[in-house]
Amino acid sequence: MHDRRQTLSASLSLILEDAAFVFAELVEDEPEPFEGEVVEASLDYSGDRSGTMALRMTVHFALQVAEELMVSGDEDTLPEEIAGELLNIIAGHWVVEQFGERTRFHLTPPTAARRPGDALSPLPEDAAVLRTDDGDRVDLMVAA
Amino acid sequence: MSVEILLVDDSRITRTVQARMIRMLDLPIAAIHEASDGLEALLALDEHPGVSLVVCDLNMPNMDGESFVRELQRTDRGDLDVVILTSDRSVARTEALLDAGARAYITKPATPELLRDVLSQLLAAA
């Protein structure tokens, strides 16, 4: 089994780049707090392995990704859709990277909600915090 | 010969991006229809009998992609080309879907080049 933080970071940065055309790197030091409202998406994976994965980003960043993808929609729901779909892709990538390509698993549809940036639950120690080229913070974590 | 395609995914974002990507591929596309899960997809196929290619997600509510592919084999539309486009990269799942009747399996995010290659091959063979 690979180091969880490294595999989370690798999956998150790869999918941000391939799916959202955003470049991001792992933050090694204590991360700066989120600025503004945050959208948090989560889903469960089950099967050979089980757990819950969550992705956090600012609402502003999610809307930027939507613009990059030329996807329009209601700003009241678009960040949640963006975060949820990115998480879905990341989870599919990460479970195989972490547990092997013969792993059988199922992903629940993602759910997403907004929270104030200063009202988030503490990050697990093995969470991956990435910072994009434009300075946006994106967190990925697993509870298993 | 122009073809009708059905996109099946519970994510509106994904359907929007995929539809745009497919339209940019310079393939003979007559129409792109959408459905948000396997059940809707089966209804869409009744409404649009001209569909000859389905691009389908795996993890969806109501009826997932694998159930849709298996159900399709039980109907008179079992000859449809179904391309699975999913975040699930496991070999076990790939094999199961191809055994169930899917013609191709692509993992997200799909590049335009890969989509074009897969769809072109299926359209040429049709």
pLDDT in tens, A57-67: 999 999 999 99
**Residue-level pLDDT, tens digit, chain B, 126 residues:** 789 999 999 999 999 999 999 998 888 999 999 999 999 999 999 999 999 999 999 989 899 999 999 999 999 898 899 999 998 888 888 999 999 999 999 998 888 889 999 999 998 887
pLDDT of residue A1: 45
Tell me which residue of B105, B102, B85, B81 sits closest to B9, measured CA to CA: B85
SS3 B8: strand
**For domain B3-125, is the CATH number 1.10.357.10?**
no
Host domain of residue A89: 2-143
d(CA A110, CA A41): 6
d(CA A90, CA A77): 20
Amino acid at B117: D
Question: How far is B2 from chain A, CA to nearest CA, in Å?
Answer: 26
**How many domains are there within chain A?**
1
**Residue-level pLDDT, tens digit, chain A, 144 residues:** 458 999 999 999 999 999 999 999 999 988 889 989 999 999 999 999 999 999 999 999 999 999 988 888 888 899 999 999 999 999 999 999 999 988 888 899 899 999 999 889 999 999 999 999 999 999 999 999
Dig out the tokens for A74 from the structure.
């209601």
Question: How far is A100 from chain B, CA to nearest CA, in Å?
Answer: 8
Spatial contact of A90 and A139, defined as CB atoms under 8 Å apart: no
| B23 close contact with A: CB closer than 8 A | no
Which among A69, A81, A101 has CB closest to B89?
A101
**Could you tell me which chain B residue has the CA closest to the CA of A83?**
B13
Query: Between chains, do A107 and B87 touch, taking CB under 8 Å as contact?
Result: yes
Query: Between chains, do B13 and A82 touch, taking CB under 8 Å as contact?
Result: yes
pLDDT of residue B111: 86
pTM of the complete model = 0.89
| B87 close contact with A: CB closer than 8 A | yes
Query: Between chains, do A96 and B87 touch, taking CB under 8 Å as contact?
Result: no
The b-or-e profile of A68-90 (16+ CB within 10 A means b, else e) is: ebebeeeeeebbbbbbbbbbbbb
CA geometry: angle B90, B85, A17, nearest 5 deg: 85
Residue ranges of the domains in chain B? 3-125
**Could you tell me which chain B residue has the CA closest to the CA of A72?**
B13
The dihedral over CA atoms of B99, B95, A85, B33, expressed in degrees to the nearest 10, equals: -30
Q: What CATH number has the domain bearing residue A120?
A: 3.40.1550.10
Residues of A in contact with B111 (CB under 8 A): 18
Residues of A in contact with B114 (CB under 8 A): none
Q: At B103, give phi and psi (nearest 5°).
A: -90, -30
- Chain A interface disruption, residue of B20, B88, B89, B97, most A CBs within 10 A: B88
Residues of B in contact with A106 (CB under 8 A): 59
Dig out the tokens for A138 from the structure.
């994106």
- Chain B interface disruption, residue of A85, A101, A104, most B CBs within 10 A: A85
For A95, other C-beta atoms within 10 Å of its C-beta total 30
Spatial contact of A1 and A97, defined as CB atoms under 8 Å apart: no
